[in-house]
A and B are shown apart, each in its own frame.
Chain A
């Protein structure tokens, strides 16, 4: 595991804990002698978080994670390195390989707008990748069994919510689609899900309506043939989305390297 991504303070506390456990002076601790298992254990200890390891990825846990993660885009999970595993009222429990990242917390609260608090379990990047691979395979199976049509998950666009400003750009719980039924009605053509970054310039084009149509196809129509979303609605939604993407990318790029 690369320690470069761990904040210095947390890393130092972990090494200090290891030194104390070994009953050596922290300054004299040879960090090369600390293997990954010991470092992860020390990180879990200093953060006060349970550690999820590959052996913990049981069928029942994978099922729980799949159920909650089904509301989100796997690409976003990979970018922010978390997987939701349980929800209790206002509390969301997630597995993360970087629980110290405040942006990930904000993104999570944006996705799960019923939740006000996030509790973490720590996982190594390798373990999280294993979990994400499983979710991706499950997602691929679901898409394959869904047949030719592809309906994307709705996007968390809620300009009136202060938390939605930090929401990652791609998904929201289907249970929340009632809050913005118009958003849920957007239907994209097959394969239109991933290219978030690629879409930004297109959305910011001088003729956003045209690019929206090109990217997304015609607006969905209701059973009676009347459009549920006008072109203006779609354009507005895409621009809101683009602004959020841009802001998040800037925020992430602007962070001091650790």
Chain B
């Protein structure tokens, strides 16, 4: 588990009592296993927020977890993330996005808007931005969205069948 995921894990498990002190590390290990399986299957990783929302117990609690993340972040919300169309065939971007569970929704000469679900994560946006940056890198902006919507947007990349 990388540092941003660890931060979000600790924040959410404490806030929503997803695990006790005794079971916390077991839950963290379970997340690591899930992410490893995702990586081996060459698909977008399971984000920590998604992992915690699945363990919330009820849809209401899952929404509450997302709302908590949104409320306690300085990032704005992006409602319907869609992959910037001209990046669909870009494997390098696809792999970076899948690794960090983040999707570029707007990538113009001047601006790169990315959608993620972990406000602690600066590695993901940085990785995508560096991959896209040319001689005059675009201004980066990060917004938050629901994990299932980000996953749908990530699936708009051309994935090997």
Q: Which residues of A contact B (CB under 8 A)?
A: 17, 21-22, 37-38, 40-42, 44-45, 48-51, 53, 56, 58, 60-61, 64, 85-86, 88-91, 93, 117, 119-121
Q: Establish whether residues B78 and A50, one from each chain, have CB atoms under 8 Å apart when the complex forms.
A: yes
- Which residues of the partner chain A approach B111 to less than 8 Å between Cβ atoms? 37, 40-41, 44-45, 51
Given the interface pairs A89-B64, A89-B71, A91-B71, the reply to whether A49 lies near B141 with Cβ below 8 Å is yes
- Which residues of the partner chain A approach B136 to less than 8 Å between Cβ atoms? 21-22
Can you spell out 17 A-B residue pairs with CB atoms less than 8 angstroms apart? A21-B136, A37-B108, A37-B109, A37-B111, A38-B110, A41-B108, A41-B110, A42-B110, A44-B111, A48-B75, A49-B76, A89-B63, A91-B67, A93-B79, A119-B76, A119-B77, A121-B143
Could you list 19 further interchain pairs (A-B, Cβ under 8 angstroms) beyond the known A50-B78, A88-B66? A38-B110, A41-B108, A42-B139, A44-B111, A44-B113, A44-B139, A45-B111, A50-B106, A51-B141, A58-B80, A61-B79, A64-B80, A85-B79, A88-B63, A88-B71, A89-B67, A90-B67, A91-B70, A117-B71
- Which residues of the partner chain B approach A121 to less than 8 Å between Cβ atoms? 76-78, 143
Q: Is B140 an interface residue (CB 8 A)?
A: yes
| Total CB contacts across the A-B interface at under 8 A | 84
Chain B interface secondary structure, helix, strand, loop or mixed?
mixed
Taken together as a complex, chains A and B put the C-alpha atoms of A48 and B106 apart, in Å, by 14
How far is the CB of A104 from the nearest CB of chain B, in Å?
15
Q: Is B91 an interface residue (CB 8 A)?
A: no
Q: Is B61 an interface residue (CB 8 A)?
A: no
Q: Could you say which of B64, B79, B137, B138 contacts A64, with CB atoms under 8 Å apart?
A: B79
How far is the CB of A78 from the nearest CB of chain B, in Å?
22
Band of interface residues on B: 20 to 34
Q: Is B74 an interface residue (CB 8 A)?
A: yes
How far is the CB of B84 from the nearest CB of chain A, in Å?
10
How far is the CB of A87 from the nearest CB of chain B, in Å?
10
- Which residues of the partner chain B approach A61 to less than 8 Å between Cβ atoms? 79-80
Q: Establish whether residues A45 and B141, one from each chain, have CB atoms under 8 Å apart when the complex forms.
A: yes
